[in-house]
Amino acid sequence: MQSPNILYSPKLDHLRFFAAFVVLMFHSNLWYIGRGEQRDSLHIPIFDQGYTGVALFMVISGFILTLITYGKEMNARRFYLNRILRIYPLFAFVVTFGYFSTPDPRETSVGIDYLMALLPISNLYRLKYGAYGGVLFSVTIELQFYLLFPIIAMMVRDRGVRFLLALVGFMLLLRAIVFMLNGSVHHLAYFSIFGGLDLFLIGCLAAVFYARGPERKISVWWSVGVLLLINLVIWLVHRPGGLFHVDYSGGGRVASNSPLWVIWPALQGVMFSGLLLAYLASGTKLPFSRSTAYLGRISYSLYAWHIMICMLVATTIRPLLDSPYLTGIAIILPLSIGLAAVSYALIESPFLRMRVSYARAAAESTLVS
């Protein structure tokens, strides 16, 4: 996505689309199974546990914001303005649309719930984000990170990467203590900033490494290798008796008691930062690069609206393809892209044009997200 604060890299948009695609395939799988259909005979770990796509989004956010501000002066008010313009128009639209489309009779608290859902702490009380906004809890975690980022950027400037490493270590310690006290840390690690912060911070560390390191080109096969490794790790930790997030057996558990959740946010951050750095350094141009970059540009709308398309397909269209994966790719993805394209043009784009530059070097160089 082009921004007044950073030189444009289509590869970052490629990765944004990949993150949205992983989440879409995950929910396609869940809605397909929710109809009483069988799981796909082909199991791809990153799709079966595609909630991990949210982790990639968060790593990319930390990476881009740090790349913009590293070694530069930052105007916090302009930064917050840009974040509001970037996030809130679509966020408020989807939440409002979802609440207004809820059929009567409605709960008497619906008005208060709606107003509270728009706050950047709404994930604290686990409210609904309207009828179609179930994935938007992660947007509130993004907003919480944005509130913290000017301070984080200042501390990186003053103390260097040691501050980021120490903060990641502190999050690990806090989750370990909570696990010892409660016997579970799943919800804290997944639904709150106390897990998401690891992902943002490790993305920040990747940006510092990228900014400091020499520019070099490597084979795209390094990216493929990292992606295969990520799939292997996801498969290993989600085996029976391992990490739990979605119970495909229908056991009905809503939280995991696995201690792996203490380290899982940080481990995802390391893996996806490795993928990001390897792909940025790859010298091979992706086929259909411009088209894929456009899909990354509209990835926020794709992420925000795909649940409604999943619901539409699950309730009104009998999938003709005997595979959740093929149903996701051939039916849900094209419909979601069409809706996201309209949403981006009419809801996101007008506000994105209002963004301003908030970072400048001593020499007044202008780099935008």
3-class DSSP assignment, residue 366: strand
Q: Is residue 160 part of a domain?
A: yes
Looking at this protein, which amino acid is placed at residue 304? A
Residue 367: inside a domain, yes or no?
Answer: no
Instruction: Tell whether 34 is covered by a domain.
Output: yes
**291 lies in a domain?**
yes
- Of 212, 215, 221, 206, the C-alpha closest to 271 is 206
> Into how many domains does the chain fold?
1
Q: DSSP assignment of 304-359, as one string?
A: HHHHHHHHHHHHH---SSS-HHHHIIIIIHHHHHHHHHHHIIIIIHHHHTT----E
Does any domain span residue 235? yes
> Could you tell me if residue 99 is inside a domain?
yes
Give residue 309's domain range: 10-360
In a domain, 2, yes or no: no
Q: Which residues contact 139 (CB under 8 A, 6 or more apart)?
A: 87, 91
| Phi, psi dihedrals of residue 366, rounded to the nearest 5° | -110, 120
Question: 11-66 pLDDT, tens per residue?
Answer: 999 999 999 999 999 999 888 776 666 676 788 999 999 999 999 999 999 999 99
**Residue 3 three-state SS:** strand
- pTM of the predicted structure, to 2 decimals: 0.93
Q: Is the pLDDT of residue 221 over 80?
A: yes
Q: Which residue has the higher pLDDT, 356 or 324?
A: 356
Domain-embedded: residue 3: no
pLDDT at 4: 58
**Which of 3-7, 13-17, 192-196, 365-369 bottoms out in mean pLDDT, i.e. has the lowest?**
365-369
- The conformation of residue 41, written as its DSSP 8-state character, comes to S
Q: What is the pLDDT of residues 244-281, one digit of tens each?
A: 777 666 555 567 889 999 999 999 999 999 999 999 99
